[in-house]
A and B are shown apart, each in its own frame.
Chain A
Amino acid sequence: MNNPIWQPRIVAFFCTWCTYTAADLAGVSRMKYAANVRVIRVMCSGRVDPQFVMDALAKGADGVLIGGCHPNDCHYAEGNYKMLRRFRLLQRMLTDLGIETERVRLEWISAAEGEKVKTVINDMVEKIKAMGPLNLPGRFQEWDREMDSLEHAATQPKESEKPHAH
């Protein structure tokens, strides 16, 4: 992307009990943070399927932020641990697939930590701005361009294939 006004797009999955409430608090406290995050409220960070993270990246997100309750504070007792375990391996697998680790981030943010929502988001936006766009949809298109010539040829039967040529 050569667009000089490119802004990162970050998909955030926030647990409703802690991080989403914290984001709410940041809002009512009139804290200002970068407007690059699209928040999706989930019941628990343990609900965040690794498929959601990969789908977000594949559909054009430049980063994914997951917010959950601090250890020992999960509303459902275990959900944040499930997310942490998935995150440890997902990070490693995404690195193997060429995604920079800073693009996918897990943070524990309690309902009282509106300030942390602000600092985490600002920090993440800054880091991703420095890295530049991920632009997977564009990369997919670029990869598939190698098929263009043949696809065009294949839609029209070649001269030699016409049954009654000559």
Chain B
Amino acid sequence: MPTKPKIAFYWCASCGGCEEAVVDLAEDILGVIEKIDIVLWPVAMDFKKKDIQAMPDGSIVATLLNGAIRSDEQEEMAHLLRRKSQYMIAYGACAHLGGIPSLANQYSREQMLKYVYEETPTTHNEQKVRPQLKWSENGREVTLPELRHVVRALDQVVDVDYYIPGCPPTPKITQQAVGALLEGKLPPKGTTLAPDIALCDQCARKGTKPTDVSFTEFKRPHQKLLDPEKCFLSQGVVCMGPATRGGCEAVCTAGNMPCTGCFGPTSRVKDQGAKILSSLCANIGPRDEEGIDKVLAGIPDPVGTFYRYGLAKCMLRRKVNLPPQAQEAKV
């Protein structure tokens, strides 16, 4: 019997939405499963790390890995799966760009752990207990992975062959990517498997995009009743569409929410946040500093708005003046 190509799914620092996206293939998943052998899929199947370790190097055709890399365990799994796979595919915004988890790159590990375990309004932790990497009780030892100081996209840790963008990727681009993989019709290494054109191209509101937009204010979606047909930019709402790759078929703008940028930039843009900043700011109405700042006050958090899914892949990668890692105590 000819063996079917082996595929692995793995998750790292992610929310589980990417797993959901695979399940969203619905009954089409049966067609996929007919053609492939799933060798690892922690969310749904009971294969273990040792099963993967026992396989010869390169014996998995492709690993679709979702989630950012932020612990030593995730890093180790990424390396292991890289070695066992012919193709390593970054699946979803977190593996592709660092995703929402990489917004943590604005803080040091210590700041983050202190806040989460000691300072949030709902935390009651008088003894300031923190999770330990090792703990022994009754002669049994339990361990936890160690958090890294920096959250990384997959290609900042291992060599990546292809990227499937999105938070989460749509069933359609997932299916097209898996199809291309099984038929061996893959584009050059390093390609993002989605159309290489800005989202505006697929947006139903494209016709109402003004050529001479001139912002007098910026409103966030919850501050304004949004017209369901007009271009968000013409309504003074930040839409990441012009600096974001299409391929999602503009599902958010169809649902009357502006694009938040999850597909990342097109191949011609190196830094998505810098690019949307450039585009939005150039079109502000006022010409004097005071007037400009008043308009820009409508964007209170540029890092969180422009790098919502990709701070790890921002050219600066992280807040650059955080305390040196060596000075921070172990978890």
Q: Give chain A's interface residues, CB within 8 Å of chain B.
A: 46, 49-51, 53-55, 57-58, 71, 81-82, 84-86, 88-90, 92-93, 96-99, 134, 136, 139-140, 142-147, 150-151, 153-154, 157-158, 160-161, 163
B277: contacting residue among A46, A57, A89, A99, CB under 8 A = A89
Tell me if A51 and B315 are in contact (CB < 8 A). yes
Those of B288-331 within 8 Å (CB) of chain A: 289, 292-293, 296, 299, 301-303, 306, 314-322, 324-325
A154 in contact with B76 given A58-B315, A93-B302, A161-B53 (CB within 8 Å): yes
Within 8 Å CB of B284, what residues of A?
Answer: 85
Are A51 and B292 touching (Cβ within 8 A)?
no
Task: Determine whether the beta carbon of B277 is less than 8 Å from that of A90.
Answer: yes
User: Which chain B residue shows the least CB distance to A88?
Assistant: B292
Tell me the residues in window 137-159 of chain B with beta carbons closer than 8 Å to chain A beta carbons.
Answer: 148-150, 156-157
B68-83 near A? 1/0 per residue, CB < 8 Å: 0000100110011011
Minimum CB–CB distance from A117 to chain B (whole Å) comes to: 22
Cα A86 to Cα B296 with chains together (Å): 10
Task: Say whether A54 contacts B302, CB under 8 Å.
Answer: no
Contact A85 B274, CB 8 Å, known A96-B303, A146-B150, A154-B76: no
Pairwise interchain contact A49-B287, C-beta atoms closer than 8 A:
no
Given contacts A98-B320, A160-B53, contact A93 B306 (CB under 8 A): yes
**In the complex with contacts A81-B287, A136-B316, A154-B83, A146-B148 CB distance below 8 A:** yes
- Judge whether B270 and A51 touch: CB under 8 Å: yes
Give the distance to chain B from A61, nearest Cβ to Cβ, in Å: 12
Flag if B106 contacts A96 (CB, 8 Å).
yes
Inter-chain contact A85/B292, CB cutoff 8 Å: yes
Question: Min CB distance, B268 to chain A, in Å?
Answer: 11
Interface class of chain A by DSSP: helix
- Of all chain B residues, the one with the shortest Cβ separation from A50 is B274
Can you pick out 9 interface pairs between chain A and chain B where the beta carbons lie within 8 Å of each other? A46-B282, A57-B315, A81-B287, A85-B292, A86-B278, A89-B299, A134-B320, A146-B149, A150-B76
CA distance A85 to B293 in the complex (A): 8
List the B side residues contacting A53 at CB < 8 Å.
274
CB of B19 closer than 8 Å to a CB of A:
no
B282 touches which of A86, A142, A154, A163 (Cβ 8 Å): A86
A51-B316 in contact (CB<8A) = no
B54 within 8 Å of A by Cβ?
Answer: yes
Q: Is the CB of A88 within 8 A of B293?
A: yes
- In the complex, whether B273 has a CB less than 8 A from a CB of chain A is yes
Residue of A nearest to B271 (CB): A51
Contacts of B150 in A (CB 8 A): 143-144, 146
Which residues does chain B contribute within 8 Å of A146, judged by CB atoms? 148-150, 325
Residue pair A85, B282 in contact (C-beta under 8 Å) = yes
The 9 A-B residue pairs with the shortest CB-CB distance in the complex, in nearest-first order:
A154-B79, A98-B321, A50-B274, A93-B302, A85-B281, A161-B53, A98-B320, A86-B281, A54-B315
